[in-house]
Chain A
Amino acid sequence: MSDHLTLAQVDRDGAIAETLDRISPDSRAGFLRKGAILGGGIIGGGAVLSALFAEAGRAATQTDLDIGNFALTLEYLEAEFYTEAVAMGAIRNARVRRFAQVVAAHERTHVRALQQMLGAGAVAKPSFNFQGTTESEAKFKATAQVLEDTGVMAYAGQAPLVESNAVLKAALAIHTVEARHASWIRHINGAPPAPAAFDRPKTMAQILAAVGATGFISTGPGMTATGSTPSFTG
């Protein structure tokens, strides 16, 4: 993946992140609560979104279905990546772990919302092999940064192509949250949270090529055989 950080970059940034984390962890302990109190007015939350999707109905045009499924595939990938990273227990740093937990929950919510919007037209979840990137804190940090930046570029590329306002609203609401995620992990990694004044979009083909190159989306194991008589001991 051309945007992938080199190991040298990751190591250097990891050292900076560890330095930042020497701030007493107690001050971070209540940030979720604080965020809820202070951030409520402008940010909005789940209640706003359920209303949004209640009125959204289904993605009606083929274009919107294709775009929705493209987004859903990326969200499946992110949701599985973060959920697995939390479960794999390789993240020792509290700040990184909190990032993983919060973002995992967001991505799972994105999956549910897109599935609801696409209805019977939603693609099924693929199988994934994260090849150890969920099992090493350093690899997780680097991969998360690339995934989030990619998500921003993907949504930016599709937004102008969406045909219905309902799907557009949903896409915009997710797009900026992915940008928050990207900024957050970049900050943790010691990379510039907002590297440029303008974020660039990428086309669906470019994103799919980049994602394909990771090998994360894989055919799962084939567990069923049809038509051959069992050769068990009986």
Chain B
Amino acid sequence: MSDHLTVEVVDADGAIRKALDDIETGTSREGFLKKALTTGGVVALGGVVIGGLPGLVTAAPGPAQDAKILNFALLLEYLEAEFYTLAARSGALSGEAAQLARVVGAHERAHVAFLKGALGSKAGAKPTFDFKGTTEDQTKFLATARVLEDTGVAAYNGQGQNLTKPTLAAAASIVSVEARHAAWVRDILQQNPAPAAFDAARTQKQIEAAVGATGFITA
């Protein structure tokens, strides 16, 4: 439990208030994140590939750590965005599944754009994906979508305490949308949209293992 106050937390009211305002008015989302990430002027990151991510040390939150975590998030968003985009184009989906692929795909693409913008030159490159037929069959699509969304929720929730406050605000505005996606898919599948009273958080390692096991990322 970290009780000591970092500069970011002391600075809280101004930065957080601005961050929240910016989110609400939809302006300059990337702006405040860029500011948070460049304060203290630390390390640029190269491209990231699953399994090759530097282990995220749970140091006190700071801009460099924010960048690492956002690149981790960006990786997941690249994956989801590509997954939904391909599925929507495949012609294999109909009815509500097709609608979901369009709507959620647009959201994930927006998440990618947002994170890339915030990371700027630090943004990792998009990997190459092979979705192994899950974008070409409606049943497999829905089952995979469910896992991806639940995974996204667990991933973001696992990183919450490692982020600076403005970045946490941004992450919070994304993770709840992933949770909405998850519940939507689950309800289409006639599974419990909210299987537990609390959503579990998963560590970066756990998420990497889960995503790695899919084999979706090939390069």
A–B direct contact (CB < 8 Å)? yes
In the complex, A121 has a CB within 8 A of chain B? no
Residue of A35, A110, A169, A180 with most partner-chain B CB within 10 A:
A180
B191:A169 contact, CB within 8 angstroms: no
Contact of B175 among A43, A109, A160, A175 (CB under 8 A): A175
B187:A46 contact, CB within 8 angstroms: no
**In the docked arrangement, what's the CA distance between A172 and B181, Å?**
17
Hey, which chain A residues are within 8 Å of B198, CB to CB? 44-46, 48-49, 52, 109, 113, 170, 173-174, 177
In the complex, B197 has a CB within 8 A of chain A? yes
Hey, which chain A residues are within 8 Å of B154, CB to CB? 42-44
Interface residues of A in 140-172 (CB under 8 A from B): 152, 155-157, 159-161, 163-166, 168-170, 172
In the complex, B160 has a CB within 8 A of chain A? yes
**In the docked arrangement, what's the CA distance between A36 and B194, Å?**
11
Residue of A34, A61, A166 with most partner-chain B CB within 10 A:
A34
Residues of A within 8 Å of B, CB-based: how many? 67
Write the B137-180 contact mask toward A (1 if CB under 8 angstroms, else 0).
00000000011001101101100110001101100111111111
Hey, which chain A residues are within 8 Å of B19, CB to CB? 160
A200 and B197 in contact, given A28-B190, A42-B150 (Cβ under 8 angstroms): no
A201:B23 contact, CB within 8 angstroms: yes
B177:A199 contact, CB within 8 angstroms: yes
B98 → A minimal CB distance (Å): 15
B104:A48 contact, CB within 8 angstroms: no
In the complex, B107 has a CB within 8 A of chain A? yes
A182 and B180 in contact, given A31-B190, A169-B201, A173-B199 (Cβ under 8 angstroms): yes
Write the A60-72 contact mask toward B (1 if CB under 8 angstroms, else 0).
1100000000000
Hey, which chain A residues are within 8 Å of B176, CB to CB? 152, 156, 175-176, 178-179, 199
Contact of B174 among A173, A187, A198 (CB under 8 A): A198
B34 → A minimal CB distance (Å): 17
A128 → B minimal CB distance (Å): 21
In the complex, B133 has a CB within 8 A of chain A? no
In the complex, A208 has a CB within 8 A of chain B? no
**In the docked arrangement, what's the CA distance between A187 and B178, Å?**
15
The interface-forming segment of B1-9, B45-53, B64-72 is B1-9
**In the docked arrangement, what's the CA distance between A199 and B179, Å?**
11
Hey, which chain B residues are within 8 Å of A34, CB to CB? 190-192
**In the docked arrangement, what's the CA distance between A37 and B218, Å?**
29
Hey, which chain B residues are within 8 Å of A106, CB to CB? 194, 196-197
Interface residues of A in 6-54 (CB under 8 A from B): 27-28, 31-32, 34-36, 38-39, 41-46, 48-49, 52
Nearest 7 A/B pairs, CB to CB: A44-B200, A35-B192, A179-B179, A194-B180, A183-B183, A183-B180, A197-B110
Q: List 16 A-B contacts (CB under 8 A).
A: A27-B190, A32-B192, A35-B192, A42-B210, A43-B200, A44-B199, A48-B198, A49-B197, A161-B16, A164-B3, A172-B175, A177-B198, A178-B176, A180-B193, A183-B187, A196-B107
Write the residues of chain A forming the contact surface with B, with a CB cutoff of 8 angstroms.
27-28, 31-32, 34-36, 38-39, 41-46, 48-49, 52, 57, 60-61, 102-103, 105-106, 109-110, 113, 152, 155-157, 159-161, 163-166, 168-170, 172-184, 187-188, 192-194, 196-201, 203
